[in-house]
Structure 1
Amino acid sequence: MKKSILVLAVALASTSTLQAKELEVYGKINVTAQSSDDGEGRFTELKSNASRFGLKGDYALEDGLSVTYQLEWEVDPSDEANEKNIKARNQYLGLAGSFGEVRVGRHDSALKMSQGKIDLFNDYEADIKVLWKGENRVSNSISYFTPSFSGFSAQVTYVVEDSPAGEDGISAALMYGDDGLKNSNVYAALAYDAEVNGYDTVRASGQVKVAGFKLGAMYQTQESTSTTVERDGYLVSVAYPMGKAELKGQYQVMEDDNGFSAGVDYKLGKNTKVFAWYSSFDFDEALDKDYLAVGLEHKF
């Protein structure tokens, strides 16, 4: 923790020698007050939902090249201050040019990136990782991002196992459109993991904007490389803006396990919102769970 804070302090101190476009300090704080039931009784809690801060930027080199970088950490303002309060997120050094971009370090896998904005409850209790494998932020990785060609782009992540007993992994994705649905009304992706964190996974994703509605769907099949057990599932999501508010709902299935979520976000400003949501899970071989939360988020 002390080393991470020292790195941040040194980086911030150097901002006076850098142009603004070369370094961006950013982050968000997202905290909820929750009534939670993990299957053994209801209780109340305060929870931080992937609150974070980081540094990112680029620096122009010769011959049309630029060096890119990001150092991001997750923090928990709702918990006690201890060594678990800060943990690493995406942290990499990259090289970009007309060929695309190569990033080396810790990064979200291509399959994880391919989901775009379809998971409307990302970082909350109903994050798709609760039921699905494949939401991997992999260390010891090399990622290549192609330039965009007629709306198509691709990402390939090579995961170095860093162990004589392990197997290197590959995560790849082909994407079309804008995952934020700001520059296009369609987003689609097809992704595959091979030997990534013990699973082979195929995921197909799509989202469209129609009459103000954002309609999303995903299908996934995953197989454990150790047990060869294969499971299939799907997800559907819908969001609809109403003035400063946005209504959203989501349903996810993996074999006999399923989860449902509904919520509303309300903007207080460009970077600030209040929100509320309810999530319920029905598990075939585990205790059922449900959560009710209200929260506040501010980005900087």
Structure 2
Amino acid sequence: MKKCLSMFVFGGFVVTSINALAADGPILYGKANVSYENQDDGNSDTWKLQSNASRLGVKGAFDTDLAGLEAIYKAEFEISIDDGDKDGQTFSQRNIYGGFKQANLGALIAGKFDTPLKSAQGKVDQFNDLQADIKNIMAGENRTSNIVQYSSPRLFDAVGVSVAVIPGEEQSAGAENDGPADAVSSSFTFENDRFYGSIAYDSDIDDSLEADSSGDSRLNILRTVGKVRLSNFEIGAVYQLAEESDGPGEDTSYLVGGAVNLERWKIKAQYGLTEAETTNEELTLLALGFDYKLASKSKVYAYVSQVEADLADSEDSTFGVGFEHKFSM
């Protein structure tokens, strides 16, 4: 009897210790997003298994010896579920940073991660990480190295401000990009139960205009975003102006998308347009799809999309079916 009681007490102690460790320790999380797609670019028509930015990461926070100050960290990597090869690597770096957070002062982080302008899109993109992602027609979707960012606490539980600086780190004689803030990205966001809105600006960010073939450049980008949620409906829009900071190139982009949520079903659509001022090129994006929720963190989906370049006379069409599972522990 004593032996059984001792084993019971010991077992309870182990379970309690594991639960405490899991509660206070780092969080392992990830996402598996896999689709089977037919892709047709006008010259070739092929079927592919796509991994769609599937990822694995660890994140967490712990108290420092200064009252109210937390040390925070995140290390997230893209994994290729389809063939295990992401540009010649098994893991490809996504958002990775370390820093500090204080409830009344905000957060300061440094590393490689999405700029405030990219993050300002919120969840307006209905086809994020798929072939209908807005990155196929818009500049500004940057994950930047050597970036330091301050984010304010949520003011009135609704308003947030983020400002990031990126040093150029050029050390050659006469280098132009050798200062503490050669590029800057910032955003102002507002969100409540029914509305999300943001305005963001990038200055001298390394990027290229999507509707201009002039190649890599430094861009100034203004982006405004709005999304409204009413009952089972949601509709969002993006307006963006991107221009070369040292040249004549300029893109104007528009995006509108929406969805209807019917219990487990979500029916969604998206249309985007980018116009180049100097080349008169036009890029258009059109997508239609649906999701079916299997659980709170699992769904299956199907979609069709088309990305077209007018002057280049190119058209990429995709039909895909897939699934997405999110997990954390």
Give your verdict on TM over 0.5. Answer: yes
TM-score by length of 2: 0.82
**Which stretch has the larger CA shift, 283-292 or 82-91?**
82-91
1:107 aligns with 2:113: yes
1:119 aligns with 2:125: yes
3-state secondary structure, aligned to 1:129:
helix
Deviations 1:84-139 (A, max 9, x none): 23100000001001210000101110000100000011111111111111011111
| Correspondent of 1:232 among 252, 273, 295 | 252
3-state secondary structure, aligned to 1:258:
strand
CA distance in 1, matches of 2:311, 2:238: 24
Equivalent AA in structure 2 for residue 67 of structure 1: A
CA distance in 2, matches of 1:247, 1:21: 39
- Asked whether the 8 Å contact 1:199–1:224 carries over to 2, the reply is yes
CA distance in 1, matches of 2:253, 2:260: 24
Please name the residue that 1:259 is paired with: 285
Please name the residue that 1:156 is paired with: 163
| Correspondent of 1:96 among 92, 101, 112 | 101
Please name the residue that 2:198 is paired with: 189
| Correspondent of 1:206 among 197, 222, 226 | 226
1:77 aligns with 2:113: no
3-state secondary structure, aligned to 2:286:
strand
Equivalent AA in structure 2 for residue 35 of structure 1: N
Equivalent AA in structure 1 for residue 245 of structure 2: T
Please name the residue that 1:299 is paired with: 326
Please name the residue that 2:189 is paired with: 175
Equivalent AA in structure 1 for residue 291 of structure 2: D
3-state secondary structure, aligned to 2:291:
strand
TM-score by length of 1: 0.90
CA distance in 2, matches of 1:226, 1:283: 25
Residue 49 of structure 1 deviates from its aligned partner by 0.3
Q: Where do 1:62-73 residues align within 5 Å?
A: 62-73=66-77
- Asked whether the 8 Å contact 1:79–1:85 carries over to 2, the reply is no
Residue 22 of structure 1 deviates from its aligned partner by 3.3
Please name the residue that 1:7 is paired with: none
| Gapped regions of structure 1 (runs ≥ 5) | 1-14, 179-183
1:45 aligns with 2:66: no
Deviations 1:161-218 (A, max 9, x none): 221435311000000015xxxxx10110000000111211000000011232111011
3-state secondary structure, aligned to 1:288:
strand
Percent same amino acid at aligned positions?
Answer: 34
CA distance in 2, matches of 1:21, 1:218: 39
Equivalent AA in structure 2 for residue 199 of structure 1: L
| Gapped regions of structure 2 (runs ≥ 5) | 1-17, 207-217, 276-281
CA distance in 1, matches of 2:85, 2:237: 39
1:21 aligns with 2:24: yes
